[in-house]
Chains A and B, each alone.
Chain A
Amino acid sequence: DIVMTQTPLSSPVTLGQPASISCRSSQSLVHSDGNTYLNWLQQRPGQPPRLLIYKTSNRLSGVPDRFSGSGAGTDFTLKISRVEAEDVGVYYCIQATQLPYTFGQGTKLEIK
C-alpha cells in the first residue's frame, strides 16, 4: 500500500498569514494514464470532508483562490496564501492512483 505522510500534523497560524502543508507518498503517484491522482480535502469540525484540490493543483469550482496545490511524483504541497477564520479544520491529502486509496494522517489548522 502507498503510505501518505503529512507534515506538520498541527499548524497554528495567525490570521492573514500563509500556511503550508506537505504530503509525501511512499511511491510515485503518477498513474499509467499519465495523471497524478493526489487530492486535498478540508474537514471542518463536525462536517464531512470537502474536496479542495484535485490532481495535485486543480482547484475545485467555488474554492477560494487563496488555496493552491503543487508538486509532482512523491512530494506535494497545499498552500493557503492568507489564512481566514473559516479555514480552521483538518486537511487531508489522498492518493487515488493505486488501490487501496490512502489518506495522509491529517493536518490540524488552527488560529494562534
Chain B
Amino acid sequence: EVQLVESGGGLVQPGGSLRLSCAASGFTFSSYWLTWVRQAPGKGLEWVANIKEDGSEKYYVDSVKGRFTISRDNAKNSLFLQMSSLRAEDTAVYFCAVGIQIWPFDYWGQGTLVTVSS
C-alpha cells in the first residue's frame, strides 16, 4: 500500500525557516518524480515544486523560487521541503504527492500545516 506521511509543520514567525519531510512507503521511491502541493486555509490547491527521480531536476512556482528548496533522500525514502524567508502567505497545508501510474500524481499524503504568524 502506498503511503505518504508528511511532518515538520508548525508555527513559525515571518522571516523564519522550516523543513518539511515526507516519508514514503509501498513503492519504489527512487523511480518516481515527487511533488509538493499546498492549500491555504479555505482556499484552493497550488502546485509548489517537484523533483526528478534522481534529484537532478527541480522546478518551483515563482512565488517560492529562491526561498524554498525541494530535495530527496532515496536511501531513506524521504522527500523534503526546506522553507526560508517565510511569509504570512505561505501559511497552508502542505501535501506531498507522487505519480506512480498517473502523471503528475495519483497518491497524496494527509498534509502538514504550516502557520506563519507573529
Contact = CB atoms under 8 A, between A and B. Distances in A.
B41 interface: no
A48 B109 CA distance: 7
Given A48-B95, A96-B103, A103 B47 contact: yes
A49 interface: yes
Interface residues of A, number: 23
Nearest to B6: A48
B54 interface: no
A51 B44 contact: no
Given A100-B47, A101-B47, A105-B44, A39 B111 contact: no
Contacts of B102: 39, 51, 54, 60
Contacts of B44: 90, 92, 103-106
Nearest to A4: B44
A100 B61 contact: yes
B110 interface: yes
Given A48-B111, A101-B50, 4 more contacts: A1-B62, A43-B45, A94-B45, A100-B61
Interface of A: 1, 37, 39, 41, 43, 48-51, 54, 60, 90, 92, 94, 96, 99-106
